[in-house]
Each structure stands twice: as C-alpha cells, then as structure tokens.
C-alpha cells in the first residue's frame, strides 16, 4: 500500500511539474509577443507617463533636467537633452495618432535651426543604439516643413524598407505613388511635397505646407500593418513604405533640440479592411 501511495504521489508531482512548466513557457511566449490593439489604447493619459520610460543621451533613464514633464494636461518635451520617451511595451499592427505643436524654446547646437523631433516606430535593441539616444527604428520625421519624411535609424542592424519613390533634380528621393519600387537600408525618403529648397533654419516656410505654423496643433497618424507603413499629416497621406524588415517594437518620441507639446498619443485597432 505505501508503495502505491508513493507511486501515486510521484505521478501527481510529475503532472504538476509538467503543468507548471507549460504555464511558464506560455507566459514567456506571451511576454515576447507585441501588443496588437483590439480596442483603443491611450498611451498618454494627460496625467502621468506611466506607459513610458525616459532615455537620454547623457543621463540614461534619469531625467535631472526635467526634459519630459506634465504641464496643464499636456506633455512638454523641452528638447534640452537628446533622447526619447519610450513605451514600456512593444506594439504591432496599429493606427497611431499623435497630436502635437511646437513650443518657442530651442537649444544649442540647434538654436537657429529648424525645430526638430520625431516618432520612432518598431524600435528594437539597446536603448541609445542609434546616436546614443535612440532605438534602432523607422522614423516618422517631425521637423519644420519636413514632417512626414521617413528616416531609417540604424542601430546594431540597418532597418530596411521598399518604397515607391523618384529621385528629383536635387538628388534626393521623394515618395511618389506608382513610381518604381526601390529598397533602401539607409537615409531618408522625403514626403511627396517637401520643398526642394528647404533650409535647416528656424521657422522656415515652405512652398507647399501641410504642417501648421508653430503654436498650432498638428495631427500625425501612422498605420502599421505587417511590413507596411503609411504616414499621414493633418489628414493627408504624405509617405508610405512596404516590406519593412522591422514589423513590431517600441514607440519612441524624440527630444532633439526643440520644445514640443503633445496632447494625444493613442493606438487604435486597424480597420477590418486593413487587417491581415
């Protein structure tokens, strides 16, 4: 009888170990999966930055100069230090909405240059792998009169995308729907109407502006579907890429020498027509 009990106990213990191991494996698998929004996710709630962490070029995860602060329900990014505000979680297959406006303050060495920031998508790897302040990623550029450019931000590896673009007289690539598809792993693809005479100076005014003047609110949207990315500015499609090497990851808002205010950062599920 004791022998039978012993065998039963051993079998039960073995079963429990197997179940616990299975649960652990499942938990680890889920931990490695990006979040795919099934409903609206409010990343910035107007009260705190609980969905984010700070990483700055010279102070890492500490923010002694208060680069990222709350101000009257808005997120104020001073721009004083180079770095970013990064989501704690990774995301994939979403529509990202960010509403922002420029402040008045700029910082050296870009005091007289165009106000500059950006939204880094599908961020991966080590904090600071790119420029000592940012994640390896694909950037939705936010810069005066160049908002909507796509920039490949190199880290340990080179992000790669395929774009429909044409090379214009200035030698740069501009998004043009229906143009020959080319694959790039470095550099920038300009939004379709970027001024060829654009200058990196404060308050530059372009010939064809979709971006509103400093102090007024802009709405940037990014649709990320598998390896495809579509960029919008104030309701207009301004850039697009396909077959991206990076399809999931963290989202990072840059601090890059200019004051910027943000009132909304939301993720929305993709419409059924865009779901795979």
Check residue 147 and give left, alpha or beta (phi > 0: left; psi -120 to 50: alpha).
beta
Token output for 235 = 């309701």
Place of tokens 């609110």: 217
So what's the pLDDT on residue 205?
79
Using CA atoms, how far apart are residues 178 and 164, in angstroms rounded to an integer? 6
pLDDT averaged over the chain? 91
Locate the domains of the chain by residue range. Answer: 1-32, 35-274
Using CA atoms, how far apart are residues 163 and 177, in angstroms rounded to an integer? 9
- Which region among 84-88, 90-94, 120-124, 199-203 has the lowest average model confidence (pLDDT)? 199-203
**Other CB atoms closer than 10 Å to residue 116's CB: what's the count?**
21
CB 195 within 8 A of CB 246: no
CB 58 within 8 A of CB 112: no
Question: Which has more confidence, 16 or 137?
Answer: 137
Place of tokens 């960010």: 98
Residues 6+ apart with CB under 8 A from 178: 164
pLDDT cut 70: percent of the chain above it: 87
Place of tokens 């704690």: 88
Residues 6+ apart with CB under 8 A from 177: 164, 240
What are the C-alpha distances in Å from 200 to residues 145, 174, 206, 231?
Answer: 9, 18, 11, 22
Token output for 273 = 């027509």
Give the three-class secondary structure for 272.
Answer: helix
Q: What is the largest CA-CA distance in the chain?
A: 92
Highest mean pLDDT among 15-24, 57-66, 191-200, 203-212: 57-66
Q: What is the CATH number of domain 35-274?
A: 2.60.120.560
The length of the chain, given as a count of residues: 276
pLDDT digits (tens, 9 = 90+) for 210-255: 999 999 999 999 999 999 999 999 999 999 999 999 999 999 999 9
So what's the pLDDT on residue 12?
58
């Amino acid at each position: 009888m004791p022998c039978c009990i012993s065998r039963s106990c051993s079998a039960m213990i073995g079963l429990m170990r197997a179940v616990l191991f299975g649960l652990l494996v499942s938990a680890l698998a889920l931990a490695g999966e990006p979040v795919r929004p099934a409903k609206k996710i409010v990343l910035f709630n107007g009260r705190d930055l609980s969905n984010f962490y700070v990483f700055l070029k010279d102070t890492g995860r500490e923010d002694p100069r208060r680069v990222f602060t709350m101000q009257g329900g808005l997120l104020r990014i001073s721009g004083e230090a180079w770095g970013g505000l990064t989501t704690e979680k990774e995301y994939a297959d979403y529509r990202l909405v960010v509403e922002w406006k420029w402040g008045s303050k700029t910082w050296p060495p870009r005091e007289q240059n165009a106000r500059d920031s950006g939204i880094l998508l599908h961020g991966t790897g080590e904090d600071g792998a790119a420029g000592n302040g940012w994640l390896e990623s694909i950037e939705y550029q936010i810069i005066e009169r160049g908002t909507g450019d796509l920039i490949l931000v190199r880290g340990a590896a080179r992000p790669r995308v395929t774009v429909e673009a044409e090379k214009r007289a200035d030698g740069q690539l501009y998004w043009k729907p229906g143009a020959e598809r080319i694959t790039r792993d470095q550099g920038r693809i300009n939004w379709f109407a970027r001024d060829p005479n654009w200058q990196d100076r404060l308050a530059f005014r372009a010939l064809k502006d979709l971006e509103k003047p400093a102090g007024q609110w802009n709405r940037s949207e990014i649709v990320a579907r598998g390896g495809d990315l579509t960029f919008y500015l104030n309701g207009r499609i301004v850039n697009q890429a396909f077959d991206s090497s990076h399809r999931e990851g963290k989202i990072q808002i840059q601090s890059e020498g200019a004051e910027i205010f943000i009132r909304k950062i939301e993720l929305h599920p993709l419409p059924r027509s865009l779901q795979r």
